Amino acid sequence: MSRSVLVTGGNRGIGLAIARSFADAGDKVAITYRSGEPPAGFLAVKCDITDPEQVEQAYKEIEEKQGAVEVLVANAGITRDQLLLRMSEDDFASVVETNLTGTFRIVKRASKPMLRARKGRVVLISSVVGLTGSAGQTNYAASKAGLVGFARSLARELGSRNITVNVVAPGFVDTEMTRVLSDEQREGIVGRVPLGRYAQPDEVAASVRFLASDEAAYITGAVIPVDGGLGMGH
Ligand code: NDP
């Protein structure tokens, strides 16, 4: 059965792989993007998730054109890495505002119609570093750890209405976000990954699609690592 899916930041990287994976399975997929030409094949809606008005407008447009959203994948996120002593207020605030508050905003908007429909799937994209910590990423790790507490609280709030809320925590994935790392940094990371390589975006998408499937109906409040074993034990 074709469902109405929304992927934030679905115009590139992991988000695009997730959007393609749902579309390939026959679902109707909307994506948000901020600038440039969005990829073809989706209902593409402009939206900066740090702006409450844009979130409301975008959501309304998606509901009108594609129907009520049954699966929400909150994927949009940024990094602004810096050691704590050099981290500015803005470095910290902008990462939390995008990754955590932006997710709160879109999930809050999505939850109302899901509550009315008495069904829904919410998947948040966190990160292995939200669990393990990462030097130079206090802002990012805090925002991604925050998503876990957010998801687990919401899973408790919405469970009785047949709405599941889960988290996928990828390790290092080959996208523009990680291409800014130096060869030395990349080699260092791969050396610590038991599977000895980066993930491909499709490998994250597969877990997201599973959590949104009927087979995962009894899974909520879970954190699913897709990290090649990097975060084992956390
Ligand atoms: P990219 O940098 O390739 O893509 C980030 C996406 O988020 C883009 O679509 C971007 O839109 C969107 N985005 C950023 N800020 C906003 C905003 N304010 N409003 C709306 N959209 C926004 O990153 P990845 O694909 O690698 O990452 C996707 C998610 O996965 C992120 O949450 C990231 O933290 C997480 N993740 C990534 C890992 C990795 O190794 N790559 C590892 C673990 C987690 P635009 O094109 O308009 O900038």
Q: Are 69 and 63 in contact (CB under 8 A)?
A: yes
Alpha carbon 57 to chain centroid, angstroms: 20
d(CA 98, CA 15): 15
How far is the centre of ligand 1, averaged over its atoms, from the C-alpha of 176 (Å)?
9
**pLDDT (average), residues 109-135:** 98
**pLDDT (average), residues 51-71:** 98
Please give the pLDDT value at position 1. Answer: 78
d(CA 197, CA 187): 9
List Cβ neighbours of 5 (8 Å cut-off, separation of 6 or more).
Answer: 19, 22, 27, 28, 29, 30, 69, 70, 71, 72, 73, 212
How far is the centre of ligand 1, averaged over its atoms, from the C-alpha of 160 (Å)?
31
Q: Which of 140, 148, 136, 144 is nearest to 189 (CA)?
A: 136
**pLDDT (average), residues 121-136:** 97
- The CATH H-level (homologous superfamily) assignment of domain 4-171+201-226 is NAD(P)-binding Rossmann-like Domain (3.40.50.720)
Is residue 171 pLDDT above 90, yes or no? Answer: yes
> How is the chain split into domains, by residue range?
4-171+201-226
Please give the pLDDT value at position 110. Answer: 98
% of the chain beyond a pLDDT of 70: 100
Give the side-chain half-sphere CA count within 13 A for 56. 3
ipTM value for the complex: 0.99
Element (H, E) at 29: strand 28-33
**pLDDT (average), residues 67-96:** 98
Q: Whose CA is nearest to atom 31 of ligand 1?
A: 77
Structural Rg of the chain based on CA atoms:
17
d(CA 206, CA 201): 9
Please give the pLDDT value at position 181. Answer: 86
Is residue 104 pLDDT above 90, yes or no? Answer: yes
Please give the pLDDT value at position 60. Answer: 98
Strand partners, 173: 199
Please give the pLDDT value at position 180. Answer: 86
More confident residue, 185 or 14: 14
Instruction: Quote the pTM value.
Output: 0.98
**pLDDT (average), residues 21-39:** 97
Q: Are 164 and 114 in contact (CB under 8 A)?
A: no
Per-residue b or e along 81-107, where b marks 16 or more CB atoms closer than 10 Å to that residue's CB: bbeeeebeeebbebbbbbbbebbebbb
Please give the pLDDT value at position 47. Answer: 98
Please give the pLDDT value at position 132. Answer: 97
Q: Counting atoms of ligand 1 from 1, which one is nearest the CA of 35?
A: 47
Q: Are 30 and 8 in contact (CB under 8 A)?
A: no
Ligand 1 neighbours, Cβ below 6 Å, are 8-9, 11-15, 32-35, 47-50, 75-78, 98, 102, 125, 127, 170, 172-173, 175-178
Is residue 113 pLDDT above 90, yes or no? Answer: yes
Q: How many CB atoms lie within 10 A of CB 143?
A: 27
**pLDDT (average), residues 36-45:** 96
Q: Are 196 and 229 in contact (CB under 8 A)?
A: no
Average predicted confidence (pLDDT) for the chain: 97
Identified catalytic residue from 59, 140, 198, 218: 140
Residue 74 confidence class, pLDDT cut points 50, 70, 90: very high
Q: How many CB atoms lie within 10 A of CB 227?
A: 25
